[in-house]
């Protein structure tokens, strides 16, 4: 079983989640990674879905946040207003797990439109829970495939704030969470510089070269002096992921 | 089917039904926070209305989920606005007049205010109606209670009429806050109803190709919506085609 | 019993337990909205503290139920204030700094703002704890969820430990928002626990005469609280006396 | 079975409630009267208790708003924040049913203190749900025994607003409900003058004389030119009331 680039991205995202962490997960890549973590090193991870399921333990990756299995396996089921007010806004979420259509060097995210807002080239689904997940989670992890379409110099629309314009600009906006701590892609992992908060390539996946990552980044990519290579997914990790994908309804 | 026009449609997560209403040109305006085909991708009728103005342009008012939820809660509570920590730094702020700031009179902190989302009509689907006309729900009830209480009139379709509620019922809407209740089994199709029906994932996937093309969409709507007698016939037709395809 | 002093006690409806804490002088301050002996009359220790400053004066901060509820909700939501239509025209307004006005940024309407009720510790009694440490409640859950979520640390006593929750459970507090859970059957005495115990109406009536007199109150506290080993002994003693009286 | 003054008061209060009305009821006299109405002419009256029970149908008058039977017999059970926000504040209550320790000529109510606030002669339980019940119910009915202690010229403390200082002063405060429509006592029924909103004795119970009512009123009592005499409680009404009282735990 050879791990694909997508497999590595998902496995690395899963590894980033510690056991017992309380994770607010969107559908798609984030949900897949979080459920993988739950089957591997984090059996007691608490998955929170914006549809109102707290501590959901789905047997298959849900296609929709409204999936019935989320309610059936959850520790608690609450209303949507409550999940956003009492749980996310109140600061009870350790990790917010997001994806993106476009991301910039400060890990700000666009999921609204490609092109001008009034005359968009592509109308995307929109914000969903992302702006407040990005604002209020103690920490944010972004999982996104890396390309010139997604890693752009300038977002067409800022849907959700990462590190804003860098430095302490995010904190000055009054956002309570610390913002994105990692952007995990199919090529490597980018983390914010401790001072400027610009994304820096800190980890590269096996077989990927830095030039390739730079070529798929829409701004001059900074690379860490202590760049490490991602530990290859173990057979157990890949097997668990494939098994999970196979269950997808 | 009633040829309603110029509607303002409101939902946090408009999906297939909203794509249909937009595609037939019934909606002038959409108030929402996430408009996609969950697990599949785009809503093509929605996209074409926004990107190409077909069949006519549609005005969008978009929010975050948290903002929409706070708007429903404010309306259900009889307040003119709700307060949240949200939207800060987002370009969403520039695109709606229904988000503003409010200052805490105790701490001086600036927070985000959203206008109450008062509705003319709310339509939801639930599990059961009891003999007194009360409606019972369970599972992920979302903002359905708030939507009902935010509306002047609320219409509920349910899976079945029962003598007394199932013990799984967690949320009850008393008969006296509802304008009408109708029994419509599988009324949530293509979505699911906890305890009654599963999500028709194949239909969501099929909708992607049905809705991608204007003509195919129009033909589908004629055959499956305009030319059927009722929702039961619609479901039987969808089922039969699905069996053929499967 | 731990000889805690200078506490600020908070509850919408302080009753017998609060009367005891006030009577022994543990509380400097009471934040509340209704302080009586339900179905009986007065809380005499509370009254004597307020009317005669015995054993020492107590500072009151009083609200309406709706205001207190909005304060708990704001704190549980991580907001510095809550908004309601309330207090207008009431003299309550003159007696607290934690009620103010806020103007709707959309309609210009003036509404009432209440300061979030952030708590150091919340203590509630519930029905069940499951094997993961989650707590399950049903019945009239009041503001218990909000109190737990408004507090830095929450302590829950429950009727019993179960493998899996009873199907009647409607509200679950996940283990990870709780500091401690202890099994304490009849821990709500003299109140009731839905599904487990009835309200001890005779005790509420008896409390009226026990608490009316300082010395009798002190003797009762010594015998029933200070000199017993634990809450079980306390209950056995109350039960035995009730059998004698009955 | 002779009806006592208290019996008449309770029966008249019960009669004031139409079937299917949604009533927000406090414990004590209001709850007893509302439950009596439910057993007589208003089987489908909707009783809402501030503890969160909507459509409660108790078999015995509850001693406490937290009584377990309220939840067991209710159509819906909701949280206390919800009962005040979604149900009372939103204007879904037809009749708010209150009692009082002191009441003035504009049906303003005191349930807080007798004497000065800082040095009270009697410390009463306080506001409870009353200020917002009085403000937001479409209509308010007050049930209270009449005496010089309760019917006072000037309240020691305004806990809940009735018709404020009369005329349109209540509406000018922005209160949405219409305020008290009747004050039902053990002597008669007082209703607000359509213009001045001052309470006027409009109905007197059998065997009571106007002088007695005036003597138990702490201000110069206005008496309606069309004063009527309350229809005596029927044997069925008295029997139902006694039966209900007998069930009190």
- Complete domains list, chain A, with CATH: 5-243 (3.40.1080.10)
pLDDT at residue number C246: 56
Q: List the structure tokens of A177.
A: 């969470």
- CA nearest neighbour of A249 among A67, A26, A54: A67
> Is pLDDT of B27 > 80?
yes
Arithmetic mean of pLDDT, B52-68? 97
Q: Do A79 and B38 touch (CB under 8 A)?
A: no
Q: Are C200 and A101 in contact (CB under 8 A)?
A: no
Residues of A in contact with B145 (CB under 8 A): 79
SS3 of residue B228 by DSSP? coil
Interface of C with D in 71-110 (CB under 8 A): 72-73, 84-92, 95, 109-110
Which residues of A make CB contacts under 8 Å with C? 20, 22, 46, 54-55, 75-77, 85-86, 89-92, 136, 176
Q: Is A118 a catalytic residue?
A: no
Q: How far is D168 from chain B (nearest CA, A)?
A: 22
Arithmetic mean of pLDDT, D9-17? 97
Q: How far is C181 from chain B (nearest CA, A)?
A: 25
CA distance C157 to C155: 7
Share of chain B above pLDDT 70, in %: 100
| CB proximity list for A56: less than 8 A, separation 6 or greater | A47, A48, A49, A69, A70, A71, A73, A74
CA distance D214 to B7: 60
pLDDT at residue number C3: 83
- List beta partners, residue C206: none
pLDDT at residue number A249: 54
Q: Which chains touch A (3 or more CB pairs under 8 A)?
A: B, C
Q: How far is D52 from chain C (nearest CA, A)?
A: 6
Q: How far is B198 from chain C (nearest CA, A)?
A: 22
CA distance D229 to D245: 26
| CB proximity list for C243: less than 8 A, separation 6 or greater | none
pLDDT at residue number D69: 87
pTM of the model: 0.97
Mark B35-72 as b/e (b = at least 16 C-beta within 10 Å).
bbbbbbebbbbbbbbbbeebbeebebbbbbbbbbbbbb
**Segment (H or E) for C67:** helix C65-76
CB under 8 A, 24+ apart: contacts of A47-51: A47/A23, A48/A22, A48/A23, A48/A24, A48/A83, A48/A87, A48/A88, A48/A93, A49/A24, A49/A25, A49/A83, A50/A24, A50/A26, A50/A80, A50/A83, A50/A84, A50/A128, A50/A129, A50/A133, A50/B65, A51/A80, A51/A83, A51/B140, A51/B142
pLDDT tens digits along C199-227 = 999 999 999 999 999 999 999 999 999 99
> Is pLDDT of D248 > 80?
no
Whether B65 and chain A come into contact, CB under 8 Å, resolves to yes
The single residue listed with the structure tokens 């020691």 is D156
Residues of B in contact with D43 (CB under 8 A): none
Which residues of D make CB contacts under 8 Å with B? 20, 22, 46, 54-55, 75-77, 85-86, 89-92, 136, 176
CA distance D134 to A42: 53
- CA nearest neighbour of B68 among A129, C146, A79, A87: A129
User: Looking at the partner chain, which of C149, C172, C173 has a beta carbon nearest the beta carbon of A90?
Assistant: C149
Q: What is the DSSP letter of D150?
A: T
E strand spans, chain C: 7-11, 27-32, 59-62, 81-84, 99-103, 110-115, 119-129, 135-137, 151-161, 171-173, 180-183
pLDDT averaged over every residue in chain D: 95
Q: How confident is the model at residue D1 (pLDDT cuts 50, 70, 90)?
A: low
What is the CB-side half-sphere exposure of residue A35 using CA atoms within 13 A? 26
The single residue listed with the structure tokens 């037709």 is B237
Give the Å distances, CA to CA, from C62 to A27, C124, C137, D175. 46, 21, 28, 21
Query: Which class for B1: exposed (0-12), middle (13-18), buried (19 or more C-beta within 10 A)?
Result: exposed
Q: Do B84 and A89 touch (CB under 8 A)?
A: yes
Q: Do B64 and A121 touch (CB under 8 A)?
A: no
- Residues of chain A short of pLDDT 70, as ranges, are 1, 65-66, 249
Q: Are C93 and C112 in contact (CB under 8 A)?
A: no
pLDDT at residue number A1: 59
Whether B169 and chain D come into contact, CB under 8 Å, resolves to no
Instruction: Report ipTM (2 d.p.).
Output: 0.97
Arithmetic mean of pLDDT, B203-227? 95
CA distance C102 to C106: 12
> Is pLDDT of B246 > 60?
no
Q: Are C89 and C121 in contact (CB under 8 A)?
A: no
SS3 of residue C175 by DSSP? helix
User: Looking at the partner chain, which of D55, D85, D176 has a beta carbon nearest the beta carbon of B77?
Assistant: D85
Residues of A in contact with B103 (CB under 8 A): none
CA distance A81 to B65: 9
Give the Å distances, CA to CA, from A128 to A84, A131, C77. 12, 8, 19
Q: How confident is the model at residue B243 (pLDDT cuts 50, 70, 90)?
A: confident
Ramachandran sector of residue B78 (left: φ over 0; alpha: ψ -120 to 50; beta: rest) = left
- Residues of chain C short of pLDDT 70, as ranges, are 246
């Amino acid at each position: 079983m050879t791990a694909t680039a997508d497999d590595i991205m998902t496995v690395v995202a899963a590894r980033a989640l510690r056991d017992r962490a309380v994770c607010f997960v969107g559908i798609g890549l984030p949900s897949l990674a979080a459920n993988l973590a739950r089957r591997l090193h984090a059996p007691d991870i608490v998955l929170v879905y914006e549809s109102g399921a707290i501590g959901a333990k789905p047997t298959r990756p849900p296609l929709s946040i409204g999936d019935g299995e989320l309610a059936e396996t959850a520790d608690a089921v609450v209303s949507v207003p409550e999940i956003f007010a009492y749980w996310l806004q109140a600061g009870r979420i350790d990790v917010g797990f997001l994806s993106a259509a476009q991301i910039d060097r400060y890990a700000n995210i666009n999921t609204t439109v490609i092109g001008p807002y009034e005359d968009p080239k592509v109308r995307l689904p929109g914000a969903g829970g992302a702006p407040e997940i990005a604002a209020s989670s103690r920490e944010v992890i972004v999982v996104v495939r890396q390309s010139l379409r997604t890693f752009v110099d300038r977002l067409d629309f800022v849907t959700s704030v990462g590190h804003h314009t860098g430095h302490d600009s995010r904190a000055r906006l009054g956002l309570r969470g610390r913002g994105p701590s990692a952007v995990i892609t199919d090529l490597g992992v980018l983390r914010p510089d401790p001072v400027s908060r610009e994304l820096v390539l800190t980890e590269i996946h096996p077989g990927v070269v830095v030039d390739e990552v730079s070529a798929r980044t829409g701004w001059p990519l900074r690379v860490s002096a202590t760049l490490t290579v991602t530990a290859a997914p173990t057979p157990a990790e890949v097997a668990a992921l494939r098994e999970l994908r196979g269950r997808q309804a | 089917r009633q040829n309603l026009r110029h509607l303002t449609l409101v939902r946090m997560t408009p999906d297939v039904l909203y794509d249909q209403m937009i595609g037939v040109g019934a909606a002038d305006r959409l108030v929402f926070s996430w408009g996609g085909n969950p697990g599949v991708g785009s809503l093509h009728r929605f996209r074409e209305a926004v990107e190409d103005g077909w069949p006519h342009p549609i005005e969008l008012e978009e929010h975050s989920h948290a903002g929409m939820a706070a708007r429903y809660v404010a309306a259900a509570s009889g307040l003119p606005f709700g307060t949240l920590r949200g939207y800060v730094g987002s370009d969403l702020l520039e695109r709606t007049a229904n988000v503003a700031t409010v200052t805490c009179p105790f701490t001086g902190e600036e927070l985000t205010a959203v206008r109450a989302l008062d509705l003319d009509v709310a339509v939801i689907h639930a599990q059961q109606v009891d003999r007194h006309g009360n409606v019972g729900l369970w599972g992920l009830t979302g903002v359905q209670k708030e939507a009902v209480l935010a509306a002047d009139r609320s219409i509920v379709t349910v899976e079945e009429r029962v003598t007394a509620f199932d013990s799984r019922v967690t949320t009850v809407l008393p008969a006296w806050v509802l304008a009408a209740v109708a029994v419509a089994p599988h009324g949530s199709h293509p979505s699911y109803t906890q305890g009654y029906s599963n999500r028709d994932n194949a239909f969501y996937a099929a909708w992607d190709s049905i809705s991608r093309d204007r003509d195919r969409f129009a033909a589908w709507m004629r055959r499956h919506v305009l030319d059927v007698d009722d929702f039961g016939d619609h479901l039987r037709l969808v089922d039969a085609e699905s069996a053929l395809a499967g």
